[in-house]
Amino acid sequence: MRIRVVQMNSVVGDVAGNLSRMVEFMGDARRDGVNVLIFPEMGLAGYPPEDLLFRPSFLRDLDQAQEELAARTDGLMVIVGYAYAEKRGLRNAAAVMAAGQTLVRVAKQHLPNYGVFDEDRYFTPGTGTTLVLWERWTLGVSVCEDLWYPDGPYLRQARSGANLLVNISASPFSRGKSLMRQEMLGTRADDAAAYLVWANLVGGQDELVFDGASAVLSPDGQVLAQARSFAEDVLTVDLNRTPSQHRRWIDPRWRLGGIEGNDLEIVSVPLEPVADRPAAARRVEPFPDTVQSLYQALVLGLHDYVEKNHFGDVVLGLSGGIDSALTAVIAVDALGNHRVHGVFMPSIITSSASRDDARALADNLGIDWREIPIREVMSAFMDELTPHFAGRASDLTEENLQARIRGTLLMALSNKMGWLVLTTGNKSETATGYSTLYGDMAGGFAVLKDVLKTEVFGLARFVNQRAAGERIPVSVLTKPPSAELSPDQKDEDSLPPYDILDQILRGYIEEDMTPDELIGAGLDPDAVALAVRLINQNEYKRRQAPVGIKVTPRAFGRDRRMPISGRF
pLDDT at 261 over 70: no
Instruction: Flag the least confident range among 205-209, 240-244, 554-558.
Output: 240-244
| Phi and psi, residue 419, nearest 5° | -85, 145
Decide if 41 is catalytic.
yes
* Rounded average pLDDT over 211-225: 95
Is-contact 108 125, C-beta < 8 A? yes
Decide if 108 is catalytic.
yes
The continuous run of DSSP H or E covering 549 comes out as none
Q: Count CB atoms within 10 A of the CB of residue 441.
A: 22
Which of 424, 416, 287 has its CA nearest to residue 358?
Answer: 424
Buried b (16+ CB within 10 A) or exposed e, 194-221: bbbbbbbbbbbbbbbbbbbbbbbbbbeb
* Rounded average pLDDT over 202-209: 96
pLDDT at 483 over 80: no
For the chain, give the percent of residues with pLDDT over 90: 79
Is-contact 457 477, C-beta < 8 A? yes
Catalytic residue among 119, 144, 427, 455: 144
Report d(CA 450, CA 429) in Å as an integer: 10
Report d(CA 415, CA 501) in Å as an integer: 37
- pTM, two decimals, is 0.93
Catalytic residue among 41, 207, 455, 484: 41
pLDDT at 443 over 90: yes
Catalytic residue among 108, 308, 453, 550: 108
Please name every residue paired with 200 in a beta bridge, in sequence order, or none if there are none: 169
Distance of CA 566 to the CA centre of its chain: 30
Q: Count CB atoms within 10 A of the CB of residue 414.
A: 19
pLDDT of residue 550: 94
* Rounded average pLDDT over 192-218: 96
pLDDT in tens, 523-567: 999 999 999 999 999 999 999 999 999 998 888 888 787 877 777
pLDDT in tens, 115-130: 888 899 999 999 999 9
Decide if 144 is catalytic.
yes
Which of 51, 42, 541, 547 has its CA nearest to residue 301?
Answer: 547
Quick one: CA torsion of 329, 335, 338, 341, rounded to 10 degrees?
Answer: -60
